[in-house]
Amino acid sequence: MSVKTRFAPSPTGYLHVGGARTALYSWLYAKKTNGRFVLRIEDTDRERSTQESIDVIMQGMSWLGLDFDEGPFYQTQRFERYGELIQSLLDQDKAYYCYCSRDELDALRKQQMEQKIKPRYDGRCRHRQQPREGIDPVVRFRNPEHGEVVFEDLIRGTIAVSNQELDDLIIARSDGTPTYNFTVVVDDMDMNITHVIRGDDHINNTPRQINILRALGAELPNYAHVPMILGSDGARLSKRHGAVSVLQYREQGYLPKALLNYLVRLGWSHGDQEVFSIEEMTELFELSNVNRAASTFNSEKLLWLNHHYIKHDDPEQLANQLFWHFQKNEVDIESGPPLVDVVKVLRERSKTLVEMMEMSLFFYADFESYDEKAVKKQFKPEALEVLQALLEQFSAVEAWEGESLHHVVTGLAESMQKKMGEIAQPLRVAIAGRAVSPPIDATLELLGRQKTLQRLERAIKFIEQKNL
RNA sequence: GUCCCCAUCGUCUAGUUGGUCCAGGACGUCGGCCUCUCACGCCGAUAACAGGGGUUCGAGUCCCCUUGGGGACGCCA
């Protein structure tokens, strides 16, 4: 049978990096084996599921390029099917109605905690013959009382849990709607999922689900539980650890392939290799090489990978992605150099696209003020004659291109008997507004003659006024 | 508390039938070179097998215990 994996998020929030990683692993495994990848929205919790979350999850998947072959399926559209199977279980006495009230269950749980035993349903309605008046019952699955459930996890190896640890879980709420542990099982069965790849936090659910699967007479899928991602404080990754929403990384100027590369390498490895193209990870990915231990999210390394891809990716493609950020910030790029050229001079000094955008803003719009420190250091009285000389010589330059502009600067340094830095730095502050920019000749070329001359004049006036 | 899972540098990890590992790579950090700024690049340094018992000629690699961490224990998923 050919492989089929699925990603089954519940639409109660954004797509976070942990979810994205399990999605990636499932996607990779399907791709690698020429199988199929299914997206299923687990929205049985009507209270908390929102359309907004669905949209955001889909956007995240699409931004990452994790396309699915089937779906999205919505569990809320399959209630009829779940109802059928619950009835069938009831008919076979593999499930039963439970009339316990919430208060009763709370009291039971409290009592068990006090006795320092694992809180669980004690099965008091297991053999009840008569309904109780005034209570809408839930349906509980009749879990086997003896023996143990053993399964072979593709990442962890053998896992065994005694049935005595498992209680009779609720498969239908009192309003008749099915619950998670039941719907996953039915869907995985109906959709012929062969490999269930999911977070570690589901490991305890697996034995229960296996019991239900058996009661339903279904074949068992393979299971692979990937470890959690922790924040820098060792606790489970959450909002307070910074950007955990996938889309937030887009906002912050990360490239999808950088995030993907970081995520695939977090908890999985192929020898010493650090950089993987999508093709490479698809080819090399193995569940057996997934680490068993939880790993800590390290944004420094993600940043490094992002920079790596900014340095090495196709400039045209990067320009397109950079454009997204300019648009978002409503910056008009018509009046400045082509974005591809900006990418080429800025890629080595920008770790994110946001950084790149900020550093290139001065090509497109006049800056409001000069960087204070830069003014102090570079706009000293002696800079005046340098800038005046530059203004004069730049006006006379015939071909406005890097090489000739470079000659102007070096020539001036020679004739004025100054170091390069004494010429280039004041010039840089004059045209860029701050002491940092790409090489001065490239910057001048991209900025163009008109803007360069204007800004030199502006700087000269500024220094003159400052010295009054 | 009970059950399940896990344990190599600060972080991600290599280590796949125990020996060639006084433990390798990457990020970070710290030095240095390059240099018109910031970077890039290059060179070098730093730092780990949680602890204790076994098994064995030999253990990071196998077994047990301890400790530590994570997860689960919902009419959430």
CB proximity A413–strand B (7 Å threshold): no
At residue A408, the pLDDT reads 87
Q: Considering the candidates A239, A328, A461, A466, report the single residue annotated as catalytic.
A: A239
Residue-wise pLDDT tens digits, A156-191 = 999 999 999 999 999 999 999 999 999 999 999 999
Determine the average pLDDT of the residues in A378-394. 88
Instruction: Give the Cα separation of A366 and A451 in Å (integer).
Output: 9
Q: How far is the CA of A274 from the C1' of B21 (A)?
A: 22
* Phi and psi, residue A277, nearest 5°: -75, 165
Q: How far is the CA of A201 from the C1' of B71 (A)?
A: 5
Instruction: Give the Cα separation of A330 and A445 in Å (integer).
Output: 24
At residue A235, the pLDDT reads 76
Determine the average pLDDT of the residues in A142-156. 94
Instruction: Give the Cα separation of A342 and A344 in Å (integer).
Output: 5
- Strand B: which nucleotides have any atom within 7 A of a protein Cβ? 1-8, 10-16, 24-28, 35-41, 69-77
- A290: which nucleotide lies closest, measuring CA to C1'? B13
Residue-wise pLDDT tens digits, A207-229 = 999 999 999 999 999 999 999 99
Is pLDDT above 90 for A376? no
What's the mean per-residue pLDDT of chain A? 92
- A161: which nucleotide lies closest, measuring CA to C1'? B4
**To the nearest whole percent, how much of chain A has pLDDT over 90?**
73
Task: Answer whether A33's CB lies under 8 Å from A3's CB.
Answer: yes
Q: What angle do CA A180, A184, A190 make, to 5 degrees?
A: 145
Strands A4-7 and A36-41, bridge-based pairing: parallel
Determine the average pLDDT of the residues in A7-32. 95
CB proximity A154–strand B (7 Å threshold): no
Instruction: Give the Cα separation of A136 and A99 in Å (integer).
Output: 7
Is pLDDT above 80 for A238? no
Determine the average pLDDT of the residues in A419-440. 92
Is pLDDT above 80 for A240? no
* Phi and psi, residue A203, nearest 5°: -60, -35
Residue-wise pLDDT tens digits, A86-111 = 999 999 999 999 999 888 899 999 99
Has A239 been annotated as catalytic? yes
At residue A319, the pLDDT reads 97
At residue A128, the pLDDT reads 83
Determine the average pLDDT of the residues in A440-464. 92
Find where tokens 């937030």 sit.
A248
Is pLDDT above 90 for A131? no
Q: Quick check: pTM over 0.90?
A: yes
At residue A243, the pLDDT reads 60
Residue-wise pLDDT tens digits, A39-68 = 999 999 888 899 999 999 999 999 999 999
Instruction: Give the Cα separation of A21 and A15 in Å (integer).
Output: 10
CB proximity A300–strand B (7 Å threshold): yes
- Give the confidence band of A453 by pLDDT, cuts at 50, 70, 90: very high
Instruction: Give the Cα separation of A370 and A71 in Å (integer).
Output: 54
Determine the average pLDDT of the residues in A379-405. 87
CB proximity A235–strand B (7 Å threshold): yes
CB proximity A65–strand B (7 Å threshold): no
Overall size of chain A counted in residues: 468
- A201: which nucleotide lies closest, measuring CA to C1'? B71
Is pLDDT above 80 for A241? no
- Give the confidence band of A134 by pLDDT, cuts at 50, 70, 90: confident
3-state helix, strand, coil split of chain A in percent (to 5) is: 50, 10, 35
Task: Say which residues have a Cβ less than 8 Å from residue A268's Cβ, sequence separation at least 6.
Answer: A25, A285, A289, A290, A291
CB proximity A131–strand B (7 Å threshold): no
Based on its alpha-carbon atoms, the radius of gyration of chain A, rounded to whole angstroms, reads 31
**Is residue A110 classed exposed, middle or buried when 0-12, 13-18 and 19+ CB atoms within 10 A define those classes?**
exposed
At residue A93, the pLDDT reads 94
Residue-wise pLDDT tens digits, A313-359 = 999 999 999 999 999 999 998 989 999 999 999 999 999 999 999 99
CB proximity A261–strand B (7 Å threshold): no
Residue with minimal CA–C1' distance to B2 is A118
Is pLDDT above 80 for A123? yes
Q: Which residues pair with A225 in a beta bridge?
A: A198
**To the nearest whole percent, how much of chain A has pLDDT over 70?**
99
CB proximity A467–strand B (7 Å threshold): no
Task: Answer whether A218's CB lies under 8 Å from A28's CB.
Answer: no
Q: How far is the CA of A269 from the C1' of B65 (A)?
A: 31
Instruction: Give the Cα separation of A346 and A335 in Å (integer).
Output: 18
